[in-house]
Amino acid sequence: MPYRLLPAAAAARIAETPAADLVAAHHRFELSGVCARGRWWWRPEEILELRHPHALLTRAETAAVCGVRGETVRRWARAGLIEADQIGRQHRYPAGAVVDLLRGARAAAAASPAAGRRVRARTAPDGRRLLRPSSAAALALIDARGLNALVLLGDLDGALLEGQPWITAASALSVRPADAPISVCVAADLLGVPEAAVHQMILDGRLTPGICAAGRRRLLPGQLRAALDRTPATGRTPAA
């Protein structure tokens, strides 16, 4: 299931809350929205948490927040992947169960083997680290449609190199959930340095592992964004 962002109108409708109240909650640090050119996008599980856990969603609402078709939601219910309550001839889905499904999908995406695959990155003439769109979408944990929307809205920085589109690594990291860890090998690709250099940065205290799972270090997006600002375009690690 692709991780996606909800546009403001859909988020307000599903949360049963005026769009202005969602923005106010963001400014109180209660929600983490993304704003570009006056348009807001929201993380679906945070929007659903504004509803009572036992509030019931229609199949269309559940499909919208999960970024799938209604028939897919029906199959999930039949397979026992999501709780469903039958009311007459209609099925309804508890908001809490949908939140659990979304959080599980996000955690699985962050911990999957694909999350540790090398990403295609290169350095732009101005020193910025750039990613191919497919790598940027995987890093941001959003689907291709959400990535394109954020690019069009100007919330993701991009560049054209040799006629091909690229997305800046820093902007892709800004969209990735703050608690979704990143492997050392991917961090090395983002910074343009060898893995050994990333380990040395950890030993020197310039990077602090956020999670150590099965003996493997993981880093958090915010740390890597700061490291990108400090790392020279030459690809060498910065001096301590």
Domain 6-111, second-level architecture:
Orthogonal Bundle (1.10)
CA nearest neighbour of 77 among 87, 64, 92: 92
* Residue 147 φ/ψ, nearest 5 degrees: -65, -45
Residue bearing tokens 């497919």: 134
Instruction: In the chain, count H helices and then E strands.
Output: 12, 13
Name the residue type at position 40: W
pLDDT in tens, the chain (240 residues): 555 678 888 888 888 889 899 989 888 888 877 776 677 888 888 888 888 888 899 998 888 888 788 888 888 888 888 888 888 888 999 988 888 888 776 665 555 544 455 677 888 888 888 888 888 887 887 766 667 767 766 667 777 777 778 888 888 888 787 777 788 888 888 888 888 888 888 888 888 876 665 567 788 888 888 888 776 544 443 333
Indicate the domain borders of the chain. Answer: 6-111, 115-230
- What is the pTM assigned to this prediction? 0.54
Q: Would you give the distance in Å from CA 92 to the centre of its chain?
A: 27
- CA torsion through residues 109, 112, 114, 120, sign: positive
CA nearest neighbour of 181 among 100, 112, 105: 112
